[in-house]
Amino acid sequence: MYQKGITFVIPAYNTEHTISRTLESILRQTDQHYEVIIVNDGSSDHTEDICKKYAEEYPDKIRYIYQENRGLGGARNHGMRLAGREYVAFLDSDDWLMPEYVETVMAQLRWQAPVHPEIILILPQIYDENSKKVCEWYDAALFRELFREDGQIINPQNNEKILLSDVNQCRKILQTDFINRIRFRFREQVKWEDVYPHFFLLSQCRSCMGIGSVGFYYRKGSSQQITASRGADRMDLLTVYQDLLNYMKDPALPREAAARLVFPVMRILTGFSMEGIRMTDTDTRQKLVQELSIFFRTIPGCWYREWKNGCRKYGSGKERIRYRLFQTAIKHRWSSRWFEDYLYQEAIETLIKRLFRMDRRKKEIHDTV
C-alpha cells in the first residue's frame, strides 16, 4: 500500500552546479505529501557530496542512492522501484518547482476522488539558458485543446490527439500502481529514452488528467541535455525506433490501438530523424543517414498511407511538405552532404526541383520504352 503523495525521482550525473536549486525548490513545497529519491548515476564531480548532505539533513524526505553509470533510463528505473508514494514524478537535476506544485496536484486529485488517474499530464514552463527568458511549453496550444480546464480527465483510447503531445517524461506524473501493473521500465544505456515510453504509456492508459498551472520549470539549453549531443550518441535513435516498431507489430497490442499510433509515431520518427541528422557531427552523419535509410524501408507501406492521411488531418501545409520530402529523400538514400544543406532549410526549392526532375526522368524513360 503506497502512501498518499508524490515520489520525485531525480537522476543526477555531474550536476554539482544545479542540483541544489532543484532540491531546495522541492523542500519549499507548501504540501508535504512527497518524498525525494536521488539516484547518482556514477558522477565524477561533487554531486555525491551535495546529495549526501541533503539526505543527512532531511532524512524523512530525501533518500540518496548511488549506482554505476547506467544512463538516465537506468537511474529512473532504480528510483521507480523504490517509490513509496501513490504517484511518481521525474525531475531532471537542473529543473525546479514552485512551492505550490505538490499542493496543486494533490488538490486536483482530491477534487477527482474517487477517480485516480493513471497519468497526470502537466504543462511546464521553459527556462531558456541562453536567452534567460521563460516561455511556454512546446505543445501548449494542443494541451489547452485537450484539457479545457485543470483537473479534466480524458481517456487516451478515445482521443488520439493526445498521442501528438510532447514526449518529454518530466511532464508526466505516473500512478505507481499503473507502472507496476503494465510492468513499465525505461530502456537503459541509450539516449532519447523518452520516445518509446510516451507511446507505450498513453496506449496503455485509460485515464489521463491535465493540469496546466502547476509551477514546473524545465531548463533548456543545458550542456547536460541529450539534445546537445552531436556525436555517436545520435545512433541511439535507431535503437529507440526499433523498440517502437517492435511494440506496434506486437500481436498482443490490439489492432485498433496500433492503428491509432501510426501517424503520431511516423511524425516523431520523421521529426527526430531530421533534427538528428541536422545536429549530428560530420563523422557520424553519413552512418546515421545510411542506417535511417535502411530503417525507413522496413516500415510497412500501409503506415505511409496512414501517415499521409494524418498529415491531411492534423499537420500544417509546411509540415506536410517537409515530412514528405524527407521520407522521399531518406528512402532514396540521398547523400548526407545534401541532407545537411536540406535540413538547414536553405534548399527546399532545390529539393522540390530535384523531385520534379526525378518524376520527369521517370516519365521520359517510360515514354521511350
Reported as a pLDDT band with limits 50, 70 and 90, residue 302 is: confident
- Return the pLDDT at 290: 82
Lowest mean pLDDT among 12-26, 45-59, 92-106, 326-340: 326-340
Distance CA 65, CA 244 (A): 30
Lowest mean pLDDT among 170-179, 259-268, 341-350: 341-350
- Return the pLDDT at 344: 45
Lowest mean pLDDT among 50-54, 141-145, 300-304: 300-304
Reported as a pLDDT band with limits 50, 70 and 90, residue 358 is: low
Distance CA 339, CA 330 (A): 9
Judge whether residue 79 has pLDDT over 50. Answer: yes
- Return the pLDDT at 99: 97
Cell numbers given for 313: 488531418
Judge whether residue 364 has pLDDT over 70. Answer: no
- Return the pLDDT at 231: 62
Average pLDDT, the chain: 86
- Return the pLDDT at 337: 52
- Return the pLDDT at 367: 53
What's the pLDDT tens digit per position in 200-257?
A: 999 999 999 999 989 999 998 765 544 445 567 888 889 999 999 999 999 999 999 9
- Return the pLDDT at 342: 47
State the CATH architecture for 3-228. Alpha-Beta Complex (3.90)
Q: Is the pTM of this model over 0.85?
A: yes
Judge whether residue 6 has pLDDT over 90. Answer: yes
Reported as a pLDDT band with limits 50, 70 and 90, residue 35 is: very high
- Return the pLDDT at 25: 98
- Return the pLDDT at 284: 80
Domain ranges of the chain: 3-228, 232-368
- Return the pLDDT at 345: 46
